[in-house]
Chain A
Amino acid sequence: MIQGIDYAAVAPPLILAVAALGLLLADAFDVPRRVLGLLSAGSLAAALVAVAVLAAGDRRATFCLPGGLRGGGPASCSYVSDRFTLVFQGIVLVAAIVVVLLSLREISDAEIPAGEYHFLLLAAIIGALTLVAARDLVLLLVALETLSLPVFALVALRRYDGAATEAALKLFLFSVISAAVMLFGISLVYGATGAMHLDRIAPALRNLPSDLDPVAAVGVVLVLAGFAFKVAAVPFHFWAPDVYQGAPLPVAAFLSVVSKAAGFAGLVIVLALGFPAYAHVWGPLVGVLAALTMTLGNLMALRQATAIRLLAWSSVAQSGYMLAPLAVGEKRLPEAVAATTAYVALYAVMNLGAFAVVIGARRRTAATPYYDTLADFGGLARRSPLMAAALAFFLICLAGLPPGVMGLFAKVVVFRATVAGGVTWLAVVMAVNTVIGLYYYLAWAVRLFAAPAGPAYETSPGLPVRAAVAAAFAGCAVLSVAPQLILQTVASVT
């Protein structure tokens, strides 16, 4: 049995794979750090170009079942490069470029081995790119693991730091358990339907004999749990704050944006393409998860004193908003998928911006890691007015208030999809949560303009971080005026 492979369709991950190997080799020959960074960013840009070219063309699919094995069923391709995939690949790649920019300084400051860092980062991104294109459960799981495994190592790269090691271990254990749970779920679904491809699972679930119904239901829920870990939804969120704090800050940004975006893409793919017949099972479940996630995330964020933990909890809370539209179940599912996608895209821009400023403004000490408290941000407006203004803008975007109109639109879209699907109670929970969220975002933003709390210290973000902040700021400003750019793309996807 010979499968034809459409190399154009898999070009984005392929480019990165080649680049990652090249990087590892180059590192062995003592190529300077700067060149490695450029190579890494360059390959991401090349992959982005490939995505753009693919976006201009038609839908492509590869790794399909050969005609003889289809048995009259659908084509069942494992890797599909449609609009949805390309949008998410675009989000992942743009965010990844920003993460690389943020990493450059951190690598030299924290004495992280540059070659390994870039290699691992690219490997994780390959996982993310494949995950959003995967259309069968095996490839989904493999991609998810490809995304997760390098991240453990990335988190632990500061070898001298005990907190980093602990964080990596925590992440590892959580990840392994959730992968095991998910595998179990997949095996149940496979057992019930006899299929691995989502386009075969969906019809099989619809026509399932009633005695297999509980098996399939448990399988669906367990698969959902695996993704809930990836997006840090309650009750699988415990790793998030500790890991964000222990990891190098750019890796935390990666986890909070790239990895989460890929996780949501996978979740959406599985729920919308594979399990629509069981929407009555996962719909309410997602609703409850969303409500718990946003409420707990926001309440915990209220009590945080360090910037990174606040971002961690707030990013848990934001996951709740992203989950919310999916609670509608099968009714108006395309609209809900569009809403979640739009929110993920908009969130990526704002949250990366916030991370970029936190990285740029952090206090640089010798080898001992130091976590910036919120009080350290007091008076940032005097030390570096532009950074402070940018951070205030990102925070207000995250809170969803004008002048951060973009965040407001993100909320409007999510509210709309939720209400349209008839889950009004969740919209009310969300309304209350936006208020809690506003409180800590605003309190932080106000601190920036208050008098400095301690002795002033120099903030020297460096050029790459400045560029990242500027890019995120420009993105937020443009999307605030023309949210249409994202909304239109997203609407055409589904």
Chain B
Amino acid sequence: MMALPLAGALALLVPSFLPGEDAVRRFGVGVSGATLLVALSALTAFDFGAPSRMQLQVDRAWAPSIGLRFHLGVDGISLPLVVLTALLTFLCFLYTVKHPPQGGRIRLFVALLLVLEVGLLGTFVALDMVLFFVFFEVVLIPMYAVIAIWGSGERRAAATKFILYTLLGSGLLLAGMLLVAVNAGTLDMTELARRHGAGLSHGVQLTAFALMGLGFAVKAPMWPLHTWLPDAHTAAPTAGSVLLAGVLLKMGTYGLIRVALPAAPDGAAFWAPWLGLFAVVGIVYGALACLAQRDLKRMIAYSSVGHMGFVLLGIATLTPVGVNAALFGNIAHGLITGLLFFLAGAVKDRYGTGDLRELGGGMLTTAPRLASLLTFASIASLGLPGLAGFWGEMLALLGAYRPHADLPRETFVTFMAVAALGAVLTAAYFLRLLAKITHGPVTGPVPAGARTITAYEYAAWTPLIALTLLVGLWPKALLDVTTAPVRALLGGG
């Protein structure tokens, strides 16, 4: 599954291969499509009767002298994320066929996105801590280049900020993971999860969780470590923002659930209230910041901070309900925010600006299709029941109402109340967005071609819309897959 995009990226390095930009773009679609097919076949090969068991494993020695193994596998936690990654990358390529980013050098762009896909998929299927870390890092350079070369505005600064922040996180993460590894004597994540922290002293667990938690929190991003995110999202080209918001952020929360929670449960219990506090601050802060934004992409970026706050709150409860909510929120946020960034990119392409005031109102009149899609994505994002965004938030709040027995309940109930307030604010800013640009009288200039939506855009967006509806109306499909492995990770709970 990962060999495919890697081979594709390497093939693109050969200069004479596939002359012409169109061919290169179609090649990207082909390779990522094939990867998606492999991911879907993994979905069919997956034994849903035992989602908590690692399946489809590959396990080979890589560097035995430091105990490093090339160990891959999927279970119910990683499977949805793998499929989401493959899907979003494929859709990005599809979108790129007719809407290439400005800045030329499509060959390089396609190659970088393919490498990015390798890193993302690798992160979600790696079962060895150092291997996980390697894939975690593989993502950085391509993303940096995508923002720095094809971005807009302050792209160089944004890209630098992105890579420095995340690398700082990675450094701490590495220290934390190795702290666990040398004390537990294994790098294997399944083994660590099985032991559930046995053999690690309380102090080691506290330090390890703090280090790993900080590392993942930068990626997630958790308030107050989020400041790289709005800049990076705003500057990145459409495909970059979609992957950044849709998948990259999930690496942080996935890592928390997969690595940090099971490896250092005592540490998790100690730090959980703090994690919850920062998560709640993130929710409210994100919502308030959104109310003050004038740029469409920037606003969606801040909304991500809020949504990831809900995900982190779910994790902080340390209950199966909360962690399930987090995983659910991950997927839902990937679908909805991916769609939102696609739409924001489309608006920017057509109107030449993402500034809410310059866009003016009345988009429903001037560009009815685009505006109604934007409305759909916005209300999905604000958590309307029946759409994907609702369940993640609702379950996270539910989890906070009844946190793990070792955690102070009053604190978490307060968190819940504040987070619910944040949810209301979320509704407020999305409605403000809609009121400003889709409704009202037409004020801004209307560019030609705003009405129509190309076939490629439809092709890229429809799967996201369909899945948002599906997951929203039938959440059990997803929850069934994740519940059992979450229970296993939390120690039989």
Residues in A neighbouring B167, C-beta threshold 8 A: 401, 434-435, 438
Chain A residue, CB-CB nearest to B182: A420
Contact of B163 among A405, A408, A415, A438 (CB under 8 A): A438
- In the bound complex, do residue A403 and residue B141 qualify as a contact, i.e. CB atoms below 8 Å apart? yes
Does A402 make an interface contact (CB < 8 A)? yes
Which one of A405, A415, A419 has the greatest number of beta carbons of chain B within 10 Å?
Answer: A419
- In the bound complex, do residue A409 and residue B178 qualify as a contact, i.e. CB atoms below 8 Å apart? no
- In the bound complex, do residue B174 and residue A431 qualify as a contact, i.e. CB atoms below 8 Å apart? yes
Does B140 make an interface contact (CB < 8 A)? yes
Residues in B neighbouring A483, C-beta threshold 8 A: 63
Does A18 make an interface contact (CB < 8 A)? no
**Interface members, chain A 465-494 (any B CB < 8 Å):** 483-484, 487-488, 490-491
- In the bound complex, do residue B171 and residue A412 qualify as a contact, i.e. CB atoms below 8 Å apart? no
Q: Which of B130-138, B237-245, B420-428 is found at the contact surface with chain A? A: B130-138
Residues in A neighbouring B171, C-beta threshold 8 A: 430-432, 434-435
In angstroms, Cα B211 to Cα A430, docked, is 13
**Interface members, chain B 170-222 (any A CB < 8 Å):** 170-172, 174-175, 178-179, 181-182, 207, 211
Chain B nearest CB from A186 CB (Å) reads 35
Does A367 make an interface contact (CB < 8 A)? no
- Say which size band chain A's interface belongs to: 20 to 34
Contact of B168 among A419, A427, A431 (CB under 8 A): A431
Does B448 make an interface contact (CB < 8 A)? no
- In the bound complex, do residue A419 and residue B179 qualify as a contact, i.e. CB atoms below 8 Å apart? yes
In angstroms, Cα B225 to Cα A472, docked, is 38
Per-residue CB proximity of B24-68 to A under 8 Å, as 1/0? 000000000000000000000000000000000000001111100
In angstroms, Cα B422 to Cα A78, docked, is 73
Chain A residue, CB-CB nearest to B175: A427
Chain A residue, CB-CB nearest to B171: A431
Which one of B137, B156, B160, B174 has the greatest number of beta carbons of chain A within 10 Å?
Answer: B174
Given known A-B contacts A419-B179, A427-B175, A409 and B168 have beta carbons under 8 A apart: no
Does A439 make an interface contact (CB < 8 A)? yes
- In the bound complex, do residue B178 and residue A416 qualify as a contact, i.e. CB atoms below 8 Å apart? yes
Does B301 make an interface contact (CB < 8 A)? no
Residues in B neighbouring A416, C-beta threshold 8 A: 66, 178, 181-182
Does B23 make an interface contact (CB < 8 A)? no
Chain A nearest CB from B348 CB (Å) reads 25
Chain B residue, CB-CB nearest to A488: B65
Does B148 make an interface contact (CB < 8 A)? yes
Residues in A neighbouring B140, C-beta threshold 8 A: 401-402
- Say which size band chain B's interface belongs to: 20 to 34
Per-residue CB proximity of A431-453 to B under 8 Å, as 1/0? 11011001100110010000000
- In the bound complex, do residue B163 and residue A402 qualify as a contact, i.e. CB atoms below 8 Å apart? no
In angstroms, Cα B163 to Cα A365, docked, is 37
Given known A-B contacts A408-B134, A432-B168, A484 and B62 have beta carbons under 8 A apart: yes
Residues in B neighbouring A446, C-beta threshold 8 A: 148, 156
- In the bound complex, do residue A435 and residue B168 qualify as a contact, i.e. CB atoms below 8 Å apart? yes
Does A396 make an interface contact (CB < 8 A)? yes
- In the bound complex, do residue A402 and residue B138 qualify as a contact, i.e. CB atoms below 8 Å apart? yes
Residues in B neighbouring A484, C-beta threshold 8 A: 62-65
Interface of A is mostly: helix
**Interface members, chain B 59-101 (any A CB < 8 Å):** 62-66
In angstroms, Cα B171 to Cα A484, docked, is 22
Does A197 make an interface contact (CB < 8 A)? no
In angstroms, Cα B65 to Cα A490, docked, is 9
Does A25 make an interface contact (CB < 8 A)? no
Chain B nearest CB from A369 CB (Å) reads 32
Residues in B neighbouring A10, C-beta threshold 8 A: none
In angstroms, Cα B137 to Cα A438, docked, is 13
Residues in A neighbouring B148, C-beta threshold 8 A: 446
Does B373 make an interface contact (CB < 8 A)? no
Does B459 make an interface contact (CB < 8 A)? no
Residues in B neighbouring A415, C-beta threshold 8 A: 174-175, 178
Does B164 make an interface contact (CB < 8 A)? yes
Does A424 make an interface contact (CB < 8 A)? yes
In angstroms, Cα B148 to Cα A396, docked, is 16
- In the bound complex, do residue B178 and residue A412 qualify as a contact, i.e. CB atoms below 8 Å apart? yes
Chain A nearest CB from B402 CB (Å) reads 35
In angstroms, Cα B171 to Cα A491, docked, is 24
- In the bound complex, do residue A428 and residue B175 qualify as a contact, i.e. CB atoms below 8 Å apart? yes
Contact of B141 among A401, A411, A420, A428 (CB under 8 A): A401
Contact of B65 among A401, A411, A487 (CB under 8 A): A487
- In the bound complex, do residue A439 and residue B160 qualify as a contact, i.e. CB atoms below 8 Å apart? yes
In angstroms, Cα B167 to Cα A405, docked, is 15
Chain B nearest CB from A276 CB (Å) reads 20
In angstroms, Cα B156 to Cα A442, docked, is 12
Chain B residue, CB-CB nearest to A438: B167
In angstroms, Cα B119 to Cα A402, docked, is 10
Given known A-B contacts A411-B174, A434-B167, A405 and B65 have beta carbons under 8 A apart: no
- In the bound complex, do residue B163 and residue A419 qualify as a contact, i.e. CB atoms below 8 Å apart? no
Contact of A412 among B130, B138, B207 (CB under 8 A): B130
**Interface members, chain B 148-170 (any A CB < 8 Å):** 148, 156, 160, 163-164, 167-168, 170
- In the bound complex, do residue A401 and residue B66 qualify as a contact, i.e. CB atoms below 8 Å apart? no
Residues in A neighbouring B178, C-beta threshold 8 A: 412, 415-416, 419-420, 427
Does A345 make an interface contact (CB < 8 A)? no
Residues in B neighbouring A435, C-beta threshold 8 A: 164, 167-168, 171
Chain A nearest CB from B128 CB (Å) reads 12
- In the bound complex, do residue B134 and residue A405 qualify as a contact, i.e. CB atoms below 8 Å apart? yes
Residues in A neighbouring B170, C-beta threshold 8 A: 431
Chain B nearest CB from A383 CB (Å) reads 17
Chain A residue, CB-CB nearest to B139: A402
Residues in B neighbouring A442, C-beta threshold 8 A: 144, 160, 163
Contact of B182 among A401, A402, A419, A438 (CB under 8 A): A419
Does A413 make an interface contact (CB < 8 A)? yes
Contact of B63 among A409, A427, A430, A431 (CB under 8 A): A409
Chain B nearest CB from A443 CB (Å) reads 8
- In the bound complex, do residue B175 and residue A419 qualify as a contact, i.e. CB atoms below 8 Å apart? yes
Chain B residue, CB-CB nearest to A442: B163
Chain B residue, CB-CB nearest to A413: B66
- In the bound complex, do residue A431 and residue B172 qualify as a contact, i.e. CB atoms below 8 Å apart? yes
- In the bound complex, do residue A402 and residue B141 qualify as a contact, i.e. CB atoms below 8 Å apart? yes
Chain A residue, CB-CB nearest to B140: A401
Residues in B neighbouring A401, C-beta threshold 8 A: 137, 140-141, 167
- In the bound complex, do residue B160 and residue A402 qualify as a contact, i.e. CB atoms below 8 Å apart? no
Residues in B neighbouring A419, C-beta threshold 8 A: 175, 178-179, 182
User: Can you report 15 residue pairs joining A to B where beta carbons are below 8 Å apart?
Assistant: A402-B138, A408-B133, A408-B134, A415-B174, A415-B175, A419-B179, A427-B178, A431-B175, A434-B171, A435-B171, A438-B164, A438-B167, A442-B160, A487-B66, A490-B65
20 additional A-B pairs beyond A402-B138, A431-B168, beta carbons within 8 Å, are A401-B167, A402-B141, A403-B141, A408-B133, A408-B137, A412-B66, A413-B66, A416-B182, A420-B178, A427-B175, A427-B178, A428-B172, A435-B167, A435-B171, A438-B163, A442-B160, A443-B160, A484-B63, A487-B65, A488-B63
- Which A positions have Cβ atoms within 8 angstroms of B? 396, 401-403, 405, 408-409, 411-413, 415-416, 419-420, 424, 427-428, 430-432, 434-435, 438-439, 442-443, 446, 483-484, 487-488, 490-491
Nearest 7 CB-CB pairings of A with B: A431-B171, A491-B65, A420-B182, A427-B175, A402-B138, A419-B178, A487-B65
